[in-house]
């Protein structure tokens, strides 16, 4: 008996995946951390190119990263400045980007997908 190709195919096409392995997920999650937030938007740009997320999400991360780093540099332009707010903004950017990068392939989250 020949198998019917319509019965062996999934009902809905599979959504593109960002990560091919757990190692890839760890490496991509470390990108915003290792670069101290300077490449926080890179995982989202790659995800948009792979059609994992909508392009507006990647654009939002690029604009947000530029704005946060710009504000942080405007607040504390010199290295000997002791204002903690600039560091807080950068830590917040790093934590947010790393967390969201780790959640890119989560099926329960549908915002921007």
Question: Which residues, including other chains, have CB under 8 Å from residue 20's CB and lie 6 or more apart?
Answer: none
Contact 37, 89 (CB under 8 A): no
pLDDT tier at 11 (50, 70, 90 boundaries)?
Answer: low
CB count in 10 Å sphere of residue 61: 26
CA distances, 75 to each of 32, 62, 66, 67, 78 (Å): 21, 20, 14, 12, 9
pLDDT digits (tens, 9 = 90+) for 73-106: 898 877 787 888 988 999 999 999 999 999 998 8
């Amino acid at each position: 008996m020949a198998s019917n190709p319509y019965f062996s195919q999934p009902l809905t096409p599979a959504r593109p995946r960002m990560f091919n392995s757990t190692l890839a997920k760890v490496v991509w999650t470390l990108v915003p951390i290792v670069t101290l937030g300077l490449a926080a938007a890179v995982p989202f740009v790659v995800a948009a190119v792979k059609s994992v997320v909508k392009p507006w999400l990647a654009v939002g991360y690029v604009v947000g990263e530029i704005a946060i780093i710009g504000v942080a540099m405007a607040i504390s332009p010199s290295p000997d400045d002791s204002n903690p707010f600039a560091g807080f903004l950068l830590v917040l950017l790093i934590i947010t980007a790393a967390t969201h990068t780790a959640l890119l392939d989560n099926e329960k989250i549908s915002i921007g997908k």
